[in-house]
Structure 1
Amino acid sequence: MRRRSLLRLGAAALTAPALATAAFGTAVAAPRLRIRGADLSSLAKSEDLGGTYRHADGRRDDAVRILAGAGVNWGRLKVWVNPADGYHTRPHILRTARRLHERGMRLLVDFHYSDTWADPGKQYKPAAWENLHGAALEQAVRDHTADILGALRAQGTPAAMVQIGNEINGGMLWPDGSTDDWPRLAALLTAGAEAARAASPGIRIALHLAEGGRNEATRWWFDNAVAHGVPFDVVALSFYGYWHGTLADLRANLNDVSARYDKDVLVAETAYPFRLDSEDSLENIVDLPSELVPGHPATPEGQSAWLRDIAAVVAAVPNGRGLGLFYWEPTWTAVPGNGWDPADPASGNGWENQALFDYDDRALPALRVLGRG
């Protein structure tokens, strides 16, 4: 996921109309998605700061129990190395993983290999790795990956899938792992993948780009990964319809790359607003009518329709290669202190209008759509 300053440009460039719900929604019979997931990375901090969650009828409950009861069957958790607020590290990953396991949910671990947000516009090294290069940097990747995944396995909550990097269009651990130097990037990716498989046998390796509807860019990246021998099992793509193309673009890309690389495909991130105004003092990332996908208003109904459309596209990937989708940060509501900047407790949340809980903390209809998959 990328912040507003990096993505406003993409919203303005989106001109092709979205495909109608009738073409991809409930009118088309489709199998239930195997992965009906939610990225819950912000949940632990939200709850620690007093965040609450309610069923649609207003009953307060545990957030994971609400999600699982709606049919959500996977959780996704990001990992940072040494963040300013201490979250997204091993203690919180283990704690949340245990809660997911108790509700019968499987886990995708999303390694950023950074102390803060990693996305196409920034892939900063952790401060502790700043002076590491070559084999030393590869070893740091191995050790960090093995530490988290080994701890999960040891507590009886092993990860079922792992991302080696987050939205790594331009590589990771810059400048060493830039796509300007594919042999070096491939060595880092391979180090992470090999460490993951050694620490957690049977885990599936995903490589994740923010290129949902961009087939040429997706092909270029994965052609290079294959040519350099990077091991992976799943092509994972972010797809936000206000930034990454149309639903038709997504369908064409998923269908093509699943066949081209003989791999399963996954929408690792998607979301949509249910309103445009902000609950806190920070301007929302998407807050203008011009930023919306045509045919999908910023309403609870529009949010639900978006998820139905995405689910139908993924379910229709030929040969059952479409694994499913993850909704990005459905529990990141406007809780004071749980803002975007881990170093600044006063920073706000620009995402609360895309959560799956409304401004009264009640579950929105789209949560049921996500769980039905």
Structure 2
Amino acid sequence: MSSSSITRRGLLAGAGGLALSTLLPSVAQAHGRATTLSVRGADLSFLPQLEEAGVRYRDLAGRVRPAEQIFAAAGASYIRLRVWVDPPDGYSDKARALALARRAKRAGLKILLDPHYSDFWADPGKQPIPAGWPTDLPGLTKKIRSYTRELVRDFARQGTPIDMIQIGNEITNGILWPVGQLYLPDGTQQWQAFTDLLKAGRQGALEGQPDAKIVLHIDRGGKLGDTRWFFDNITTYEVPYDILGQSYYPMWHGSLAELQANLIDSEQRYDKPVLIAELAYPWTFEDGDGRGNIVGPDSVLPDVDRFPATPAGQAGFYEAVRDVLKQVPDGRGLGFLAWEPEWIPGVGWQPGAEASNDNLTQFDFTGRALPSIRAYRRP
């Protein structure tokens, strides 16, 4: 996710707009449903900066503990770690990700690595080439392979091997723009260049760690037609991957019913397990730092009547997401990763900016855990 603007959530160019609005429990029942979710985790990439800003976290009982330990004690199984190539000082570079990986492993958490292949935020609205990288396709193909290989090896060398890796972050519109930009302003679609880069990144990841699971991650959680458009082309261009990853923010990506329909369709159409790689929901419409949030009272939440923007409503939403994932046939709804649920006021999305997601966290503005933290339990 990018926290800079809500406007980046435009429709995928050229994609179909099909959206299913009904749940499909009969499909799941016919194939059996999961009794638990193997992936229950969170992207905690801002955690070191928040701690440096003086933020402290408390569990539901009020005890001060490191955030990753609060999640692990609640039943979490994974941490997701963002890596930028050369970000502003203090932000999520490789050194910080490696240090947080050591903490995660001590807490008993597995690792999903999320290299953005950029110096800063990368998402469907922007995928800038790192300043120090080549700007031609042959050079970038070589660079993404070698960079990914060495990045993965660095995690293994320190005793924190990764378990899964995304080849880019929310790559719905391509990667490493403009060379790997999927949809150009003139309407051209660069599938060949884009998928060549994906294949090179995957190759590098497996050279670094042969048993790493490869995730392709887009931001179309409840958008079935858009998802088909993207992954049908991925299939046509023969990009190998292990897990189909989605972002799901209901204010941009549709209802829970549409999410369930899309996940079930993806599992059946592509024969891949599915993962919600990013997830968030408001527990309030108040603004913790008074400097603006990307989700407020004017935002459209499709299921807000069931799940109001309150701590209890947020907890109910997470329970409903668990149920949606369990409806995916054959236990192939792997689970979910909340996006920056620790990002309470204290650190901006860029230097000097606001914490624009501070009402989408799983801690209140003082750092006290909210009831939705119970969604990480194993059963």
Task: Answer yes or no: is the 8 Å Cα contact 1:18–1:247 preserved in 2.
Answer: no
Structure 2 SS opposite 1:242 = helix
The 5 A counterparts of 1:7-46 are 7=7, 31-46=35-50
Which residue, out of 219, 222, 239, partners 2:248? 239
Task: Answer yes or no: is the 8 Å Cα contact 2:71–2:376 preserved in 1.
Answer: no
Structure 1 SS opposite 2:132 = helix
Q: Tell me if 1:358 matches 2:364.
A: yes
Q: What is the rounded CA distance, in whole Å, between the counterparts of 2:128 and 2:4 in structure 1?
A: 18
Structure 2 SS opposite 1:135 = helix
1:314-345, Cα deviation, whole Å (9 max, x unpaired): 1110111110000000111101xx1011xx2x
Q: Which amino acid aligns with 1:136?
A: G
1:327-373, Cα deviation, whole Å (9 max, x unpaired): 000111101xx1011xx2x2110111111111121111101123346
Which residue, out of 109, 114, 125, partners 1:110? 114
Decide whether aligned partners of structure 1 residues 175 and 8 sit closer, same or farther in structure 2, where only a CA change above 3 A counts.
Answer: closer
Deviation at 1:291, TM superposition (A): 2.9
Q: What is the rounded CA distance, in whole Å, between the counterparts of 1:30 and 1:165 in structure 2?
A: 28
Match in the other structure for 2:349: 340
Match in the other structure for 2:14: none
* Segment drifting more, 136-145 vs 231-240: 136-145
Q: Which amino acid aligns with 1:111?
A: P
Deviation at 1:104, TM superposition (A): 1.1
Which residue, out of 336, 342, 348, partners 1:331? 342
Q: What is the rounded CA distance, in whole Å, between the counterparts of 2:261 and 2:321 in structure 1?
A: 13
Q: Tell me if 1:267 matches 2:271.
A: no
Task: Answer yes or no: is the 8 Å Cα contact 1:10–1:242 preserved in 2.
Answer: no
1:259-307, Cα deviation, whole Å (9 max, x unpaired): 1111110000111111111111321111115433322111001100110
Question: Between Structure 1 and Structure 2, how many residues are aligned?
Answer: 358
Match in the other structure for 1:315: 326
Q: Which amino acid aligns with 1:299?
A: T
Structure 2 SS opposite 1:291 = coil
Decide whether aligned partners of structure 1 residues 50 and 325 sit closer, same or farther in structure 2, where only a CA change above 3 A counts.
Answer: same
Q: What is the rounded CA distance, in whole Å, between the counterparts of 1:258 and 1:8 in structure 2?
A: 27
The 5 A counterparts of 1:1-373 are 1-3=1-3, 5-7=5-7, 31-129=35-133, 131-179=134-182, 180-288=189-297, 290-293=299-302, 294=304, 295-335=306-346, 338-341=347-350, 344=351, 346-372=352-378
Task: Answer yes or no: is the 8 Å Cα contact 2:49–2:90 preserved in 1.
Answer: no
Task: Answer yes or no: is the 8 Å Cα contact 1:266–1:322 preserved in 2.
Answer: yes
Q: What is the rounded CA distance, in whole Å, between the counterparts of 1:227 and 1:18 in structure 2?
A: 29
Q: Which amino acid aligns with 1:246?
A: S
Q: What is the rounded CA distance, in whole Å, between the counterparts of 1:296 and 1:289 in structure 2?
A: 15
Task: Answer yes or no: is the 8 Å Cα contact 2:21–2:258 preserved in 1.
Answer: no
Mark the runs of 5 or more structure 2 residues left unpaired by the alignment. Answer: 12-16, 183-188
Identity %: 43
When normalised by structure 2's length, the TM-score is 0.90
Mark the runs of 5 or more structure 1 residues left unpaired by the alignment. Answer: none
Task: Answer yes or no: is the 8 Å Cα contact 2:129–2:135 preserved in 1.
Answer: no
Decide whether aligned partners of structure 1 residues 96 and 290 sit closer, same or farther in structure 2, where only a CA change above 3 A counts.
Answer: closer
Q: What is the rounded CA distance, in whole Å, between the counterparts of 2:263 and 2:9 in structure 1?
A: 24
Task: Answer yes or no: is the 8 Å Cα contact 1:73–1:371 preserved in 2.
Answer: no
Q: What is the rounded CA distance, in whole Å, between the counterparts of 2:236 and 2:34 in structure 1?
A: 34
* Segment drifting more, 254-263 vs 290-299: 290-299
Decide whether aligned partners of structure 1 residues 176 and 9 sit closer, same or farther in structure 2, where only a CA change above 3 A counts.
Answer: closer
Deviation at 1:74, TM superposition (A): 0.2
Q: What is the rounded CA distance, in whole Å, between the counterparts of 2:244 and 2:34 in structure 1?
A: 21
When normalised by structure 1's length, the TM-score is 0.91
Structure 2 SS opposite 1:185 = helix
Decide whether aligned partners of structure 1 residues 315 and 52 sit closer, same or farther in structure 2, where only a CA change above 3 A counts.
Answer: same
Deviation at 1:217, TM superposition (A): 1.1
Q: What is the rounded CA distance, in whole Å, between the counterparts of 1:372 and 1:272 in structure 2?
A: 21
Task: Answer yes or no: is the 8 Å Cα contact 1:67–1:367 preserved in 2.
Answer: yes
Deviation at 1:62, TM superposition (A): 1.4
